[in-house]
Structure 1
Amino acid sequence: MNSFIQEDSTYILHLPYHLAKASMGEELCKLLTDFDFINYKTTTLSSQSLIEDYDLAQISNIQIPKKQKESLKLIQATINLSKHVLDDDKKQLAGQLLGRLLSFEIPEIQTMLEQAKQHQQKEPWLRPLTSSLTPPGEPLLRTLTGHNNWVTTAAITPDGDKFVSASEDATVKIWNLTSGSVINTLTGHNNSINAVAITPDGKKIISASDDKTLKIWNLETGEELLTIIGHTKSIRTVAIHPDGEIFISGSTDNSLKVWDIQTGQELHTFIGHGNSINSVEIEPSGKIFVSASDDKTVKIWDLQTGKVLHDLIGHSGSVMTVAITPDGNRVVSGSRDNTLKIWDLHTGKELHTVTEHIGSVMAVAITPNGKQAITGSNSALLNIWDLETGAKLNTLDSHTLFVNAIAITPDGKKAISASSDMTLKVWDLQAEVCTLTIHRDWIKAVTITADGKLAVSASDDQTLKVWDVETGKKLHTLTGHTGHVNSVVTTPDSKLAISASDDRSLKVWDLDSGVELCTYDEHCDAGEALAITPDGQNIISDGKSETIKVYNLSNGIELLTIENVYSIAKIAVTPDGKQVISTSQNKNFKIWDLQSGIELHNFTGHTAWVNAVAIAPDGKLAISASNDYTLKIWDLQTREELHTLAGHSYWIWAVAVCPNGKFLVSGSWDRSLKVWDLQTRNLVASFIGESEIDAVAISPDGMTIVAGERSGRLHFLRLEGFDKFRTQFHVT
């Protein structure tokens, strides 16, 4: 229903009457207009203003028909999910709406999407062909960005209106939970902040840092009130007493310290753990506290005497997190041994062990009713568990790196997770999970067959999937690898796919049937890099001991070994089949002769890893993608660097050139896919996904782009308006 429109080259947000009329009906539009919901005048608004407008429409006295009201809620939820994208780039609205709402067969929604597409036609854009983004109605409500390093911790104020986060970027941020906006950013620590806690009255924040200090802040003003020094090493955890007068900190110096909140005076030091202390929690009565350590134990302490009441022994790895139920009867601990243990606080007896946790348990939080625990893992998942039975109730899957902390709102309806992927996410704990991800893990590679009909994706979930490019529908799932599948190519006749895996095998698949035809074992080392010669006869892969190996596809016989190839990331073959390029983690890439194996040139210029390279169809240019956030265009004949493309804000892991040589596409860990005009070097269009983009392929007609994410999502996008853009800039 809403649209960003272009006026004097400025993108603005409003609700045009004709759009609302098309999607809601004329009578409803008139009613909303009377309440100034539909804005005839062009005014600059934010995505938050739009969200609040939808709130107004739903809580007003207007008698909105049920179906239209459902549509309003879906669109509002979609804007919420996309707010972090739209706040950075309003041009993304149409793509975000289509990517999240295409699957909803609701006339009002579909009409709105058609209108959004029409408005977007004013300039080039990437149009989603499938619903590849998280839809409304799922547990995920919002993604919050703002920290520029791992987010390590989060805490919610007692009234549930605000929350606090901290990061390895050495900042503390205070957020409005309803709007998702940053209220204040607190600076003062000079190293990573590992923990924050909020006083029971909601007035102060305590932060603990790798700089060996604790700081106390005024939550309302952001003023630093105290800096406390006493620990001799990093401070990993902090907990505030229910009376708000004292707090406890735990450090890698193996000690726990009790402090006066008003003065910062050290009151007690407790020694007992034999290694770093990762987590501390105070029991609701305030008489007992619990600590967890790298020494694989949990200890229950008497706060007044400093005596250890119980040693909870049973974990076989570092205990990373601990929580106490609201009734003060149970302790829940999470460990690097991939288990969650539930203990009786008073006896120290182990009650349950949850063994089906995937990955190390990095964080745990208990719902206010004491019935469930939510855990965060280094597998990037959140899991919800029944504390009585130990059964898993739900899995929340949207982060792409470690989940370091979880906080639950006082009403138990929402949770906030903090992750190493530099985001925080807000979850609806009452919503059901219904989305099936494309792959269950990181998509490492995608390719499109020469006839443009099929796409193949390769994933860390040990599978490949074959897709219809036109419809985006899955045709086959290819199983057989026992390790991460890192790369895939297809033969020029579009009949076969070849995959490379961590299991050190190459597999050949029939694309029509999805059947595995043969396996070449021990033919690759890490299985990171793979290419096929233009004639389809030979496979090129990374080999053992930093080599490139060339094999005959039909019989697997080794034809050539290229020595002294350092730390290969990706490889690409020139269109004439005579040379191969290998990218590297040592900031350069090299070109080799495929007949002799001789190094022809070492390209230098990047300042960080070179992750990928693409070669123009005429063989004259190479485009490299790097962790230095840039792409570089090179002349393959003169070996000169021609241009640097800057625009991504994080590592670039994928690049592909259109078969007609007019544009290139890059995918980055900043979650963006960018289209660049190869002749003018201008940025043409972009699309923002849910997570890091690691794989990109372009169809032979140059119209469809397929991109794979670390989240396991696969985007099918159509580039529209590019030729119009080139005409505008007088490019032939």
Structure 2
Amino acid sequence: MVKAYLRYELSSTFGVVTSNSALVHDNSGKFVVTAALENVAVWNIRQGTLVRMLVAPTSAEGRAPAEVTQLAAAPASLHVAAGHSDGTIRIWNLETGDCEVTWTGHRRAVTALRYNRNGGMLASGSQDTDIIMWDVVGETGLFRLRAHTAEVTDLAFVERCNVLVSGSKDGYVRAWDLGTQHCFQTALGQQGEVWSLDVDPAERQLAVGGVSAQVHLFRLGGDVSDVGEAGPSGREARTKEVLQAEGSVARHAPERVALLRYSPSGHVLACQSAGKALELFRSRSEKEARKHMQRRKKRKRDKASGGDAQQNGAAEPKAHAAGDDVMASDLLAPLQVLRAKAKIKAFAYGKQTAKGVLATVTLALNNNLIESWSVTEEECKRVRAVDAPGHRSGVRALALSSDDAVVLSAAAGAVKLWNPTSGACLRTIETGQGLCALFAPGNRHAVVGTKEGSIQVLDIGASQVSDTIAAHTAAVWSVVALPDSSGFVSCSADHDVKFWEWEVTTDAPAAGAAAGPGARRLSARHVRTLKMADDVLCARISPDGRLLAVSLLDSTIQVFFMDTLKFFLSLYGHKLPVLSMDISSDSTLLISGSADKNIKIWGLDFGDCHRSIFAHSDSIMQVAFVPDTHYAFTVGKDGLVKYWDADRWELLLTLEGHKAEVWCLAVSRAGDMCVSAGADRSLRVWQRTEEPFFVEEEKEKRLESLFEADLEENAASKQAGLDDAPAEAGTALAGRQTLEVLSGAESIADALELAAAEAERHRAFAADAAAAGAPGKAPPANPLLGGRTVEEHVLAVVGRVRAGDLEQALLVLPFSDALRLLSYLCAWLTRGSRVELVSRAAALLVRLHHAQLLATPSARVPLVRLQQLLRERTQGLKDTLGFNMAAMAHLQRALKDRQHSAMA
């Protein structure tokens, strides 16, 4: 008989304030948007609260979303673009929290995102060395730019001359003409990699930073008129250079540049290093730069008059152009050096509110922290921070309260208590470096074992450490409660297993205080000790209170009787130390997880090994049984959470989501919830659902996902091989073929086949009816059409293809299907259905199959008809849009006149 299980799914993720090098302010300036692993978090930094978590959807194949690597805020709307490590780009609406657009154009991680000034276009760069221009309004890719030979690190628009500037790890800065879609100028950014660049708001200068100790400046020449005569293609060709070198300004930080950005006013240039420093420069106006140049030249003349004129004149750097002595040092003046307590991952400018403040800077630090700083002429001052909703380091231990209402997480320096349902941080208690934890009976206290060897008793209500016990002389690796709730057992690297009983102590009254009973607090009293021959890594007590199991550094598990501490069993078989183990609720099975990547299931009656299973691709950090069952969860350094059946020795589920090593887990008393955490600082709650699943189906899904991943990898490698071209390779299509694109193309082809079969069925039915002498009778409806006509069905299928994938889906279609689709386009335009979609599909088909259409006589009739209909329908849409815009302008003028009259 086939057994069914209930599925566990990710219900919530919390504990991450910021991750990776992505931080932006929204267009209103009220909120800070950060990357939170695969999600996007929106924070109110003034209140220190999470406003909204934008959760990325899972893929059609059930894969977990990739990590967010870059963010860009739209300048004219409440939208944010997020680039992911798998090359996907998503556009989020911050007001509604919806993902409105998803693009799959890059093959590798997105490393640069930049909107143009009006937010209508988005440029993206990637580790695959390509730059893609996206039409935000049309939700589609425009073209792909290729010339760089290494990862694209940053992008910037020069709006007045329709130019895009890009920097790359190949050491070059390239200027692209977006009209002709080609690279017309290449400048050597500096010796080494180019890591960041930015254009000032006035579009006068370009700042470039990399591995050197200088910030390089370029003057932005050229404008709309700096183009030559129209070429044979009808597009104008640029004839003048845009990037003109002006020199460099020295930096103080020894690390490479990570990010360069001008403030919105253009008065401040911030240079983030790869360390803890953020250097700020004040940008001088042309008038101020001239004055500084004159003073510098005067000092030079005065110095030269002392006899060193020739030597100093030779040492003076050359100007960027003849007759102009303004240098980079005249344009930028050092302002302040902001030093944070941790490495800076990203920064963004906030709104300036106070007088005398030159800039407000928000920092994202690598210890899961957001800070806001104000910069003045005199100092850099930290204003506020968002630190409570996350740990500063990885989570090493988890514990659930007896009612499963609170989850405790322990990390270096602090213990936090969370509501697992809402993800809210309830308490933060400063402790030592916690390695293990458990709740005391009543859930008002908790015990934490530290790396220093002490055991700390926490008073949760008072949010403080009520007692610190010097329990061991080395790290405390495990604490486990006694079944009768009378105390707990701790084990340590000092070879000792110690038994403790709860006790309530009374503190002596403070000196000078009134006489009376002192404060009562919970503590623990040492009862007995079990000496072992090696470091003890884990201890577990059977629920019936009969056995004590301890795992040692010598890779064995020793089982003792609890009452007498006499030796009972020795379980050996692991090749590396057992890092975690657990005993089932009926005290019959013991499951152990080891650094040798295997789990072993043991019987506690005779100590026999029921099964050894290769479970993870890296060390197994913790295992835990689901209460009252023989199902178990395991977590490992491979970042996976796995669900097992210990009776059938089968893998049931693989739960993906963590982006780094998973170090700990906790299972609820009812077994309906599992919490996991690890090096990525995120706490993930996996909830049991009512959806049943079967093991064989899950095996098939895993095999299919592996097969599809291999297909995608092979396709990507083939495409990369075809796309590898020398520098100045030019442009290509923006999208790429994915499984979703192929699925969309197959659905269109199936719809066209169904339509053709339906038309043939109608003709055959009409012929049979005419032969029988009973014309006029319609054939029975096809249930596959869903009550729609053939044209409506094909249109619905084409409309379901994502806008960004439509071009690639039509490219996959064979020419016969494309020719058949042209006739349907004419029918849709005649009825006025989805004019924008049909117009775009028509343009794509004609562009993709231009040569074949010219050589096909049967294509002439639909093309001529399509030309007439497209002109009529698009002109009608244009007239409607113009009428609406004129009406809106009229209403705005009327509203302004009414306001002026009311004020008068």
Q: Same fold (TM over 0.5)?
A: yes
> Is the aligned partner of 1:357 residue 2:274?
no
Q: Aligned equivalents of 2:214 and 2:494: distance in 1?
A: 36
What is aligned with 1:307?
245
Q: Is structure 2 residue 460 aligned with structure 1 residue 448?
A: no
What is the alpha-carbon distance in structure 1 between the residues aligned to residue 45 and residue 449 of structure 2? 24
Give the distance between the partners of 1:172 and 1:530, measured in 2 at CA.
47
Residue 672 (1) aligns with residue 685 (2): yes
Q: Could you tell me how far apart the structure 2 residues matched to 1:634 and 1:280 are?
A: 56
Verify the 8 A CA contact 2:174 2:187 in the aligned structure 1. yes
Once residues 268 and 295 of structure 1 are traced to their aligned partners in structure 2, the CA distance between those partners, rounded to angstroms, is 22
Q: Secondary structure at the match of 2:160?
A: coil
Shift of the 667–353 alpha-carbon distance from structure 1 to 2, 3 Å rule, reads same
Alignment of 1:306-455 (within 5 A): 306-307=244-245, 309-345=247-283, 347=329, 350-358=334-342, 360-369=343-352, 370-388=358-376, 389-397=379-387, 437-438=427-428, 446-449=437-440, 454-455=445-446
Other-structure match for 2:646: 634
Greater strand fraction, Structure 1 or Structure 2: 1
Which secondary structure does the structure 1 equivalent of 2:138 belong to? coil
How far apart are 1:144 and its partner, in Å?
Answer: 0.7
> CA separation in 1, counterparts of 2:163 and 2:497?
61
CA deviation vs aligned residue, 1:9-52 (integer Å, no higher than 9, x gap)? xxxxxxxxxxxxxxxxxxxxxxxxxxxxxxxxxxxxxxxxxxxx
Q: Is the 8 A contact 2:626 2:633 kept in 1?
A: no
Q: 1:230 aligns with which of 147, 154, 160?
A: 147
The number of equivalent residue pairs is 509
Tell me which amino acid in the other structure corresponds to 1:363: A
- What is the CA–CA distance in structure 2 between the aligned matches of 1:203 and 1:349, rounded to whole Å? 34
Determine the structure 2 residue equivalent to 1:624: 633
Deviations 1:246-283 (A, max 9, x none): 22222222322222233332233232444433322222
Which of 467, 470, 490 matches 2:481? Answer: 490
Q: Larger deviation: 254-263 or 383-392? A: 254-263
Structure 2 counterpart of 1:719 = none
SS of residue in 1 equivalent to 2:384: strand
The 2-side partners of 1:502 and 1:165 are apart by 45
Query: 1:247 is aligned with what amino acid?
Result: L
Contact map agreement 1:377 1:402 (CA 8 A) in 2: no
Other structure's SS at 2:117 match: coil
Instruction: Report the residue type matching 1:490 in the other structure.
Output: A
Which residue is 1:141 aligned to?
51
Q: Give the aligned partner of residue 423 of structure 1.
A: none
> 1:239: how far off?
1.8
Deviation of 1:643 after TM superposition, in Å, equals 7.2
Query: 1:423-447 deviations in whole A, cap 9, x for unaligned?
Result: xxxxxxxxxxx98753579987542
Q: CA deviation at 1:197?
A: 0.5
Instruction: Tell me the distance in 2 between the aligned counterparts of 1:604 and 1:307.
Output: 60
> Which range is displaced more, 332-341 or 646-655?
646-655
Identity %: 20
Asked whether the 8 Å contact 2:458–2:467 carries over to 1, the reply is no
1:260 and 2:248 equivalent?
A: no
Q: Deviations over 1:210-229 (max 9, x none)?
A: 11100011110122112000
- Sort the Cα spacing of 1:337 and 1:457 in 2 relative to 1 into closer, same or farther, 3 A: same
Instruction: Name the counterpart of 1:248.
Output: 165
Distance 2:245 2:657 in 1: 51
* Residue 621 (structure 1) shift: 2.7
TM-score by length of 1: 0.56
Encode CA deviations 1:99-143: one digit per residue, 9 max, x unaligned: xxxxxxxxxxxxxxxxxxxxxxxxxxxxxxxxxx99996542111
1:69-117 CA-partner distances (Å, limit 9, x unpaired): xxxxxxxxxxxx9xx9xx9xxxxxxxxxxxxxxxxxxxxxxxxxxxxxx
One-letter amino acid of the structure 2 residue matched with residue 641 of structure 1: W
Query: What do residues 471-497 of structure 1 show as CA deviations (whole Å, max 9, x unaligned)?
Result: 977463666899998754334564655
Alignment of 1:57-76 (within 5 A): none
Specify the code of the residue in structure 2 equivalent to 1:634.
A
Match of 1:583 among 589, 593, 606: 593
Q: How big is the shift at 1:321? A: 1.8
Match of 1:178 among 79, 87, 95: 95
- Partner Cα separation in structure 2 for residue 573 and residue 452 of structure 1: 23
Partner SS, residue 185 of structure 1: strand
Look up the match of 1:697: none
Deviations 1:485-522 (A, max 9, x none): 87543345646556689999999988655669899999
Compute the TM-score of the two structures, normalised by the length of structure 2: 0.46
Matches of 1:225 and 1:160, distance apart in 2? 21
Amino acid at match of 1:317: E
Which letter does structure 2 place at the counterpart of 1:395?
A
Distance across 1 between alignment mates of 2:441 and 2:194: 56
Aligned to 2:314: none
**1:35-54 matched pairs, under 5 angstroms:** none
Cα deviation, 1:664-690, whole Å, max 9, x if unaligned, reads 5422468324258999999xxxxxxxx
- 1:210 and 1:233 in contact (8 A); partners too: yes
One-letter amino acid of the structure 1 residue matched with residue 257 of structure 2: V
Sort the Cα spacing of 1:602 and 1:642 in 2 relative to 1 into closer, same or farther, 3 A: closer
Shift of residue 571, structure 1, vs aligned partner:
2.5
Which one of 596, 607, 613 corresponds to residue 603 of structure 1? 613
Pairwise CA distance, 1:624: 2.8
1:167 to 79, 84, 88: 84
What is the aligned partner in structure 2 of residue 654 from structure 1? Answer: 665
Unmatched 5+ stretches in structure 2:
1-32, 58-64, 222-242, 285-328, 353-357, 394-423, 504-520, 677-681, 696-904
Residues 383/459 of structure 1: CA separation in 2 closer, same or farther (3 Å cut): farther
- Cα 1:486–1:237 shift into 2, 3 Å: farther
Q: Is residue 339–residue 357 contact of structure 1 (8 Å, CA) maintained in 2?
A: no
Q: CA deviation at 1:372?
A: 0.9
Distance 1:482 1:216 in 2: 61
User: What amino acid maps onto 1:376 in structure 2?
Assistant: A
- Assess, with a 3 A threshold, how the Cα gap between structure 1 residues 642 and 592 changes in structure 2: closer, same or farther: closer
Q: Does 1:190 align with 2:123?
A: no
SS in 2 for 1:285: coil
> Which stretch has the larger CA shift, 241-250 or 436-445?
436-445
**Closer, same or farther in 2 for the Cα pair 1:625/1:330, shift >3 Å?**
same
Aligned to 2:186: 269
1:211 to 104, 125, 128: 128
Greater helix fraction, Structure 1 or Structure 2: 2
In the other structure, the counterpart of 1:688 is none
Instruction: String of CA shifts for 1:549-593, please: whole Å, max 9, x gaps.
Output: 899999x9x999968544755322567989864324665312579
RMSD between superposed Cα atoms in Å:
5.5
Report which of the two structures shows the higher radius of gyration computed on alpha carbons. 2
Structure-2 separation of matches of 1:198 and 1:224: 14
Q: 2:75 aligns with which of 155, 158, 175?
A: 158
Instruction: Measure the CA separation in 2 of the matches of 1:630 and 1:392.
Output: 43
The structure-2 alpha-carbon separation of the partners of 1:581 and 1:249, relative to structure 1 and needing over 3 Å to count, comes to same
Conservation of the 8 A alpha-carbon contact between 1:491 and 1:536:
no
Secondary structure of the corresponding residue to residue 428 of structure 2: coil
Query: Counterpart of 1:379 in 2: which secondary structure?
Result: coil
User: Using the alignment, how far apart are the partners of 1:482 and 1:287 within structure 2?
Assistant: 64
